[in-house]
Structure formats: structure tokens, C-alpha cells
Amino acid sequence: MSDYTKYRSWRLVGIQWGVTKPMAYRIAVNGYEPKDITIRNIFGLPIAATVISIDGLIQPGAQCPGTKQCACAQWFVPNTPRRKRCYTCSPRRMKPNGQEKIS
């Protein structure tokens, strides 16, 4: 923000840092973290990705949150809220129109 108070122009701030006007604005005002490695180098940001923790427990055997547990104790990702059993206990059955049939 101090560069903007100096130049009074996001275009000039962008030229100063070697980035576009919208990129200068996004970084300064919105706290945007650029993904491009060359831009990250300009601002001295680390090259490695930042790991962000997510809210939600990942169950054993599952790879994402939002899983349900089947009666057989297996965790699974339901592809529809109606699915109550895992894909082993209740394999996918397709209707002739290509949609999944759930019993």
C-alpha cells in the first residue's frame, strides 16, 4: 500500500514491481498470493506450496472429508445423499439411460 500512496496509480505500482496493474492491486489490497513462480520470486515469497488444513476429519481408508460409514464399517464417499451403503456392499448399477440406479 505504501507504493500506492507514493504513486497514486496501480499501473505505476505494477510497473515498479514488474507485474500487471490488476496483479499489483490484488496483492496489495486483497492479500492475494500469486501462483506464478517468477512473480513469487519478485516478492520474495517461498516457492514451495503452502499446506492449508481443512476442517473435517478424514476417516481411515478414506481420502477426503464428507465420508459416510457403511453398516460393514467401511468408510466411503457417497455420490448422492441417498446412498447408505458402500460400493462393495451395494455396487453401482446403471439404468439404461446411464444414470446410477440406487436401491
* By the rule CB under 5 A, 72 interacts with Zn ion: yes
Residue 89 interacting with Zn ion (CB under 5 A): yes
Q: Are 42 and 36 contacting, i.e. CB atoms less than 8 angstroms apart?
A: no
Minimum distance, C-beta of residue 71 to Zn ion, in the bound complex (Å)? 6
Assess contact for 61 and 76: CB atoms under 8 A: no
Residues whose CB falls within 8 Å of the CB of residue 59, separated by 6 or more in sequence, listed in order: 67, 69, 75
Q: Rule CB under 5 A: is residue 59 a binding residue for Zn ion?
A: no
Question: Using CA atoms in the order 70, 68, 76, 66, what is the torsion angle rounded to 10 degrees?
Answer: 180
Q: Note whether 58 binds Zn ion by CB under 5 A.
A: no
Task: Answer yes or no whether residue 86 interacts with Zn ion by CB under 5 A.
Answer: yes
Residue 98: CB minimum distance to Zn ion, A: 24
The residues binding Zn ion (CB under 5 A) are 70, 72, 74, 86, 89
